[in-house]
Amino acid sequence: PRVIARAHAEGPQIRFALMPQVQDPTRSLDRAEVDLLVLPQEFCTPDHPAEEVFRERHVCVVWRDSPLAKGKLTLERYMEAGHVVMVPPGANASSVEAWMASKLGFARRVEITSFSFASCVALVQGTDRIATVHGRLARKLATQLPVVLKESPLPLAEMHQMMQWHRYRTNDPGIEWLRRVFLESAREMDKKVA
């Protein structure tokens, strides 16, 4: 929302077409079907330039009336619980869990999949499930939903949220402007969070 508001203030005629996350987003970049990708560093391709927008930690979200809301969320409690996870269109939950198993040595019991992290936070309501999501998003939604945030017991590294553009468009004035809008919006976001 900060990017859209800033862009509108600077150029009210600018149009955006926001696309859903897909399993292989860099293919759209290779085909010049998108101007800019915003994605975690692990998904960036080395074929195109990228720049960090911000860093993010993950937190766990549980329904405030769940037993999980009381006490520390240990790894054992985390693994015994059902999970609500975001799965990009075209992917499947088992591929995400297989990645976690290979990277971290275990997999969660996925009971609900969704297309967005924001809906994952809402979908824990009335259940004993856990959603592991971006901290900024969780803190914002926790002011509107009956949820509690818990520190993740998983050894998850800090996420580096990047923007990536096609190498042939590095000097494109429109892409340069859009990159600046993203960076300024991220700095503003962090001032509001702090």
Q: Note the pLDDT tens digit of each residue in 8-24.
A: 999 889 899 988 777 77
pTM attached to this predicted model: 0.82
- Token pair, residue 102, equals 């290979």
What 3-state class would DSSP assign to 82?
A: strand
Name the superfamily (CATH) of residues 58-151: Periplasmic binding protein-like II (3.40.190.10)
CA–CA gap between residue 98 and residue 86 (Å, rounded)? 14
pLDDT 10s digits, 132-190 = 999 999 999 999 999 999 999 988 888 999 999 999 999 999 999 999 999 999 998 87
- Would the CATH topology of 2-54+159-193 be identical to that of 58-151? yes
CATH architecture observed for domain 2-54+159-193: 3-Layer(aba) Sandwich (3.40)
Which residues are CB-contacts of 16 (< 8 A; sequence separation ≥ 6)? 4, 7
CA–CA gap between residue 37 and residue 59 (Å, rounded)? 24
Cβ atoms of 167 and 49 within 8 Å: the answer is: yes
- Domain regions of the chain by residue span: 2-54+159-193, 58-151
